[in-house]
């Protein structure tokens, strides 16, 4: 499993010009099940992604082709981890946060 932290390299106005294109790109990996959780950080200076069923090399290729990265808008730090514990009802917690 991986935690990916993106950091914006440009101001939010510049980043948001490519947001629709970026979200469409990311949606492919959500639908394929490779990205489990995706969301902007607070304050909005990047995002956090939790990924699984993917290798670090695949993730590097994914982010090299991301519209934000390709346009010099964001950089990505990929950290692999082994989940040791998790809360009961994690799905319910995430659904409530989504609303």
Tens digit of each residue's pLDDT (9 = 90 or more) over 11-44: 999 999 999 999 999 999 999 999 999 999 999 9
Domains of the chain: 2-98 (3.30.70.1060)
Tens digit of each residue's pLDDT (9 = 90 or more) over 50-87: 999 999 999 999 999 999 999 999 999 999 998 888 78
Distances (CA, A) of 20 to 53, 61, 89: 25, 20, 31
pLDDT at position 99, please?
A: 61
List the beta strands (DSSP E) in 9-96: 35-40, 46-51, 74-80
Q: Which two tokens stand for residue 37?
A: 């959780």
């Amino acid at each position: 499993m991986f935690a990916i932290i993106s950091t914006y390299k440009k101001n939010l106005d510049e980043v948001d010009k490519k947001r629709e294109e970026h979200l469409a790109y990311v949606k492919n990996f959500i639908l394929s099940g490779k990205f489990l959780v995706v969301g902007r950080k607070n304050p909005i200076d990047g995002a956090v992604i939790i990924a699984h069923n993917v290798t670090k090399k695949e993730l590097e290729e994914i982010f090299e082709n991301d519209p934000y990265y390709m346009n010099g808008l964001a950089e990505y730090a990929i950290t692999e981890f082994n989940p040791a514990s998790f809360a009961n009802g994690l799905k319910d917690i995430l659904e409530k946060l989504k609303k």
